[in-house]
A and B are shown apart, each in its own frame.
Chain A
Amino acid sequence: MSETTSVRSNGVLQLIDGKKYRGYLEAGETGAAFYQKGKSEPFVEWHYTRIHRMDNIRRGGTTTQTTVILKDGSRYIFDLDYGLKVYNFMDGHWADKPVTPKTRGDELKRLAELRGEKIQVPKKHLITRRHPNRSIAGDIGIYLMLLIVGFAMVFPLLFLVGSSLKPLDELFRFPPPVWPQHPTMDNFSDLFVTMGQSWVPFSRYLINTVIITAVGTFGHLVIASMAAFVLAKYDFPGGKLFFNVVTTCLMFSGYVTGIPNYLIMSRLGMIDTYWALILPAFAAPIGLFLMKQFMEGLPTALIEAATIDGAGKFRIFWSIVMPNVKPAWLTMIIFSVQSLWNTSAATVIYSEAKKTLVYALQQIQAGGIARTGQVAAANVIIVAVPILIFVFSQSRILETMASSGIKD
């Protein structure tokens, strides 16, 4: 009982005048309240009337949604993601204006002014200790460790970027500098010259990789999301079993199944076509797995309401579920891009004109020590793409990963 009596969602509350407050919504037995970050007094409260006590609440699909179902059957979705919006299932509409709450602070101020008192504003501490049970020595130790190991993690990447900027004489200087004294872009221009002289132009490898990555990722997103949707939201014979099989297959990378895959593809006549890389990518287990786990968090009420309105499965999927799982899209996209972008595909594609960027890179590398600078330059180009995508989509990806656990 006590487990279901209150639920929290983090988010931003936006008032009518445009002011934004970061914090969380807590929905409980008797009402809901919004707490500003770090404050213990509620910023604004709603009370359900006594006869309409809450019956059931759930955390929504995104971390900012909370659904409250009252005893009389009316339902409210508090959605902090787009300012505070309240969806009333009795009317079937989102309230057209954000609610303008009166804060408890305002109320206290008003009362105090009536009494002619001055309110004391609590002093802000310069350093706030977030955890009372942490030792300072331990904190310092952790910071030091993070610093040292963090540096060890970045060092090889820095070295890579450094090498790509080194002029030839610095690449072979003793002792070798980590960062060049006279950085130059020569390696990058040399790379394009070398590639330009090769039988197949560099741009061709790039285009191949881009095509494979784009088509593979798009198809994966649509096909795996469709499957994830029914697995997460409907109970049908075979569904659970199928998902368990997918979870087990998370472990088998492309290498282990490489040989039989080659045999199957040659039967299907897909060897030496882009499809040999694209089609297996459509069915990557990790994407389905993450999407299904994330979709499970969507409020079932949303889907039930749409079903009652007579929407078909496809409409529910396309116009209700998919817009609500955008963080999971990004996660699927990055995992798919990451694996396709880095694929060398040497085993299933043999025409030079269809090979990928990574394959081309490995060929330059085979050119030996004299190409050290160019290899580093090519590596920088290849590595930059997935890292940049991750940097820009980090928060959304983490939101999806929060539901990634395997329940045993």
Chain B
Amino acid sequence: MQKTQSFASRYMAMKRERFQHGLQTAKKNRGCYLFLAPYAVLFFTFFILPIATSIFYSFTYYNILEPARFIGLQNYVNLILQDEVFLTAIKNTFVIAVITGPVGYILSFLFAWFINELPKWLRAVAVVVFYAPSIAGAAFTVFSIIFRGDAYGWFNSILMEFGLIEAPRLWLTDPNYMMTILVIVILWMSMGTGFLSFVAGFQGIDKSMYEAGYVDGVRNRWQELYHITLPSMKPMLLFGAVMSITSAFNVSDVPRLLCGYPSTDYAARTVVTHLFDYGFSRFEMGYASAIATILFLVMILCKKAISAMLGRVGA
């Protein structure tokens, strides 16, 4: 008994000492907190607080007019068991995320790698060409002209010219085609921040590592990629992954502006447009918050899974 107590008290003393030490460093660096404060306050107000609020309201019924009423897990139960549109939204978001996330990520990486082999001036041009669609913002609305449902739509006219179809197809309003078109458009826009990070990462790799590689018998570009390039790019790979999860799960503008809101049979609905619908059209804030909370959780899990996967690359 005596012994355990002394152990416990020693442990407490250690804790206290560590706390004191922390307090001391905090005091010594008081200025740091002043520097951090403006950002921290804004960040807390517009990023942390909304997430916390969102989790809180997800357990309530809240329509802005009446005070929030606690209803436990009811929102989640309704979402999963009763809301068929939500299931469509989940399915669509999942399809988009699973296709455009990894494919966009791999394409970004591959093209950054290919571009890296080009001479300098050509590389600069190529980076602009590949990056432009993702910074062009609303430029993707041009696809509504390209895939227009009548014969003046460029894609329809090409197909008709070659006799592949006889009558124009409603690419953006027919539920059978919507998802395919969306995936194409989103892939077109997928070379974003992650891609830039990869391009920069390739340029930053120490050239002498490649020279050492030649000497050690790295025979072709694939071996070089696996043994030298990938291991030195791990931090960029993780950053790129975070960026592609973000864009893959937050898809909302593209379906909204191309396929209409709401789209035919909800065929182009995603989780975020569903959230918008409940939040800003029906003012069911509690329900919308539950959708947001589920999205947070899925995104965090994805990031964890990816960083675990990247831990094994090129080992």
Chain B residues contacting A300 (CB-CB under 8 Å) are none
B interface residue count range (under 10 / 10 to 19 / 20 to 34 / 35 or more): 35 or more
Q: Indicate if the CB atoms of A154 and B129 lie closer than 8 Å.
A: yes
Quick one: which of A157, A258, A286, A402 contacts B201, CB cutoff 8 A? A402
Cβ of B50 within 8 Å of any chain A Cβ, yes or no, is yes
B174 to chain A, nearest CB (A): 18
Please measure, in the bound complex, the distance between the C-alpha atom of A139 and the C-alpha atom of B221, giving whole angstroms. 10
Cβ of A49 within 8 Å of any chain B Cβ, yes or no, is no
Please measure, in the bound complex, the distance between the C-alpha atom of A387 and the C-alpha atom of B128, giving whole angstroms. 8
Contact residues of B: prevailing secondary structure: helix
A-B contacts, CB under 8 A, total: 310
Q: Indicate if the CB atoms of A257 and B50 lie closer than 8 Å.
A: yes
Cβ of A283 within 8 Å of any chain B Cβ, yes or no, is yes
Chain B residues contacting A249 (CB-CB under 8 Å) are 43, 47-48, 51
Q: Ordered nearest first, which 3 A-B pairs have the shortest CB separation?
A: A405-B235, A342-B137, A401-B200
Cβ of B197 within 8 Å of any chain A Cβ, yes or no, is yes
A235-B25, A257-B47, A257-B292 given; A394·B35 CB < 8 A: no
- Please encode chain A, from 278 to 316, with 1 for each CB lying within 8 Å of some chain B CB and 0 for all others: 011011011010000000000000000000000011000
Q: Indicate if the CB atoms of A390 and B131 lie closer than 8 Å.
A: yes
Q: Which single residue of chain A is at the shortest CB-CB distance from B250? A: A253
B107 to chain A, nearest CB (A): 8
**Which of A's residues lie within 8 Å of B, judged by CB?**
8, 63, 130-135, 138-139, 142, 145-146, 149-150, 152-154, 156-157, 159-160, 163, 171-176, 178, 223-224, 226-227, 229-231, 234-239, 242, 245-253, 255-264, 268, 279-280, 282-283, 285-286, 288, 312-313, 317, 334-335, 338, 341-342, 347, 358, 361-362, 365, 372, 375-376, 379, 382-383, 386-387, 390-391, 394-395, 397-402, 404-408
Cβ of B139 within 8 Å of any chain A Cβ, yes or no, is yes
Cβ of B106 within 8 Å of any chain A Cβ, yes or no, is no
Cβ of B226 within 8 Å of any chain A Cβ, yes or no, is no
Quick one: which of B45, B115, B133, B257 contacts A156, CB cutoff 8 A? B133
Cβ of B218 within 8 Å of any chain A Cβ, yes or no, is yes
Chain A residues contacting B230 (CB-CB under 8 Å) are none
Q: Indicate if the CB atoms of B115 and A236 lie closer than 8 Å.
A: no
A328 to chain B, nearest CB (A): 12
- Please encode chain B, from 205 to 245, with 1 for each CB lying within 8 Å of some chain A CB and 0 for all others: 01010100110001111001000000001111111001101
A259-B275, A394-B124 given; A245·B48 CB < 8 A: yes
Chain A residues contacting B295 (CB-CB under 8 Å) are 256
Quick one: which of B45, B126, B133, B224 contacts A133, CB cutoff 8 A? B224
